[in-house]
Chain A
Amino acid sequence: MNSPERQLEERHRLLAIREHLKIHARPESPDFRTEVASACLKQVRPIIDAHAHERGEAIMAAISSKLGVHFEEVRNPGDISRLERKYLKEQKEIGFGLLSDALADEGVDALLFQKTNVPVRNPHQWVAVLNLQETESRAYWSRPHEIVHRLAEPPQKRLPFYRHRSENENTVERLVDFAAAELAFPASVFKPLVVSRSKEPLTWELVSELRQKFAPTASVHSIAKACVNFWPTPVFFLTASVRGRRSRPRDAVALRAKLEGNNAPARKSGIVFYDNMRVPPSSPIAWSLESGDASVDVEDLGKWVTSSGDRLPSRTALTSAMRMRDQVYGLISPAP
């Protein structure tokens, strides 16, 4: 639950971001997050332009170097020992004495240290440690996320907040993720790449190809959202898993979908995938769950029915589905 203290802290942080970036929209305005993202992007635009022909990882490395943030990745206890040797023993950075304890908690995604043994004017005083022990999925994403924190918030030493990630509760983290998407897959670089392939259908095979080309360390989920965003014709990105109703999770257990992303043409298409909607057995998404294989096939969206009996408009769509552990990822492109 959000305590009054936490709400106050969040509110003040949003106001501090507004002040720091000198933006007009107030935090409660629908334009706020767009203005924050634009203001962050503006600060690093020359770096992105200078590295426009490189991969996403190289662009992130150039931006973080300019901002004085050094990234360290932890995948196993050996990495923790290595960082303790480097920062605690050799550089006498006492804060790194917290490293092993902090990373013992698998709920910790990242730590940001401000070195104490470097001159104040030394720009290279930040070390971001990414916890990749449980999953690699945020390896790429965490970089733009930390970069946006540095761009959007006043210097941390003066406003030392702890950031607690909880998707439903933390407004600042959601805001930072929104702006991070703009940085991770910059429109000026990634959009032309996506649009150049838009004569083909958007399938998981194509998403995978674009991922290899632009940011091989990015998660499939994050690259799919970016592809969908820039795709010129309507497309929906869904994930589906076997679960019950939202209100009564043990009831009516079935393969149910969650909308992860759609693009502007999709939002204008009149098709709305309701949260937790059942996936019809005729959908390639259902087939992929059963078979474990990827599939690409046409389906009739009119077969998608809500619990209250409403149907999606009867439109033919091309669906690309791929099983990811206990979930199925689906890309649904309705025919024009």
Chain B
Amino acid sequence: MRNQAELAPDERREIAKRIRGLRQTQGQTLKWVSDATGISLSHLSEVERGQSSVSGEKLAKLAEVLGATSDYLLTGRGAAEGHIPEGLAQAAEELHLSFAQTRRLLEGKNSLVAKRASSVEAEWDKNRWVLFYEKVRDIL
């Protein structure tokens, strides 16, 4: 099932742009991503051009391989696992955190996988990350 086919062409193109962007930033070839995800090379190429779609399962696989979240690939919002969000990067610099500590903070935040609330949470800025660090610094 290619459920992304049910998205509008504009939406597919935006998702395609993010997939291609992540792959190129990481210096990976289409072939490498194809091998790692099990998505055929021709299909992947079409996906990256916004001409074809991928199922939810394959999107999740792409996200995993490219070090991102499915949410990021879909909407461009939120943290990509392989990418440190800007607010966290600023906080890490100010606090002189190692890369491992920074990743651990990100992993901790991402472990809150769902939140049922009446309002939408804004993207975290540097100060919010610093507050989180203060709370968990003893076990980081």
Contacts and interface: CB of A to CB of B under 8 A. Distances in A.
Interface of A: 5-6, 8-9, 11-12, 15-16, 18-20, 88-89, 92-95, 97-98, 100-102, 105, 107-116, 145, 149, 154, 156-166, 173
Interface string B103-140: 01101111111111111110000000001100110011
A157 B132 contact: no
A165 B118 contact: yes
B28 interface: no
Contacts of A18: 1, 3
Contacts of A110: 114-116
A93 B112 CA distance: 10
Interface residues of B, number: 43
Given A19-B56, A108-B118, 9 more contacts: A16-B56, A88-B136, A93-B111, A94-B111, A113-B113, A159-B56, A161-B114, A164-B118, A165-B116
A108 B71 contact: no
B112 A107 contact: no
Interface of B: 1, 3-4, 6-7, 11, 55-57, 60, 63-64, 69-71, 74-78, 104-105, 107-121, 131-132, 135-136, 139-140
Given A8-B74, A11-B7, A15-B6, A156 B113 contact: yes
A115 B111 contact: yes
Which among A20, A89, A158 has the highest number of chain B CB atoms within 10 Å? A158
B74 A107 contact: no
A108 B132 contact: no
